Amino acid sequence: MPPLDCERIWLDYKDRVSGYIFSHVSNKEDAQDLISSVFAKLVQAASSYRGDPKHVSSFVYRTTQNLVIDYYRCKKNLNELPETIKAASAVEDDYFKQETLDRLAEALERLPKFERDIIVLHYYKSLSLHKISERMQKNYEKIKWAHRRALAFLKNKFKNFEL
């Protein structure tokens, strides 16, 4: 596996990381220090990073979030800690959502049209599998089988995806 290209990662993520940190840390100098720390950690971890380089964003965003939490812990300003940071597992950050949506769209595009249509009708149009079988004029068992196969495919695509 090739080593991570830290310069490319810096160029790709500096604006998003800066935006996240500046939105959570009011002191400009502290925010700039945290931004530097995120990328310093990236450089330190680059040689030992074992994940897929395509998914380095999870590492970048998680590191950013953890450094902001540590910042508040060190400052002992836990009362100032925004609710969205207090429960790191509950944070639904736009960056993570967008990454997940991009991956889902990519995976859906790889499904055969028949299976993709079933997934869209079932999960986005809220149709039951019975209604889908009527609409598509196909046997219910065939629809159910294709639905299971599509879900297995999507599950496999997200198996190693970390947020």
* pLDDT digit string, tens, across residues 100-125: 777 778 888 899 999 999 998 998 88
Q: What contacts 16, CB < 8 A, 6 or more positions away?
A: 95
Alpha carbon distance 108, 105 (integer Å): 5
Phi, psi for residue 127 in degrees, rounded to 5: -90, 145
Residue 97 has pLDDT above 80, yes or no: no
Residue 3 DSSP code: P
Alpha carbon distance 96, 81 (integer Å): 20
**Amino acid at site 123:** Y
Residue 135 has pLDDT above 50, yes or no: yes
* pLDDT digit string, tens, across residues 45-94: 777 766 666 667 777 888 888 888 888 777 654 455 555 554 443 444 55
The pTM assigned to this predicted structure is 0.46
Q: What contacts 88, CB < 8 A, 6 or more positions away?
A: 65, 66, 69
**Amino acid at site 114:** F
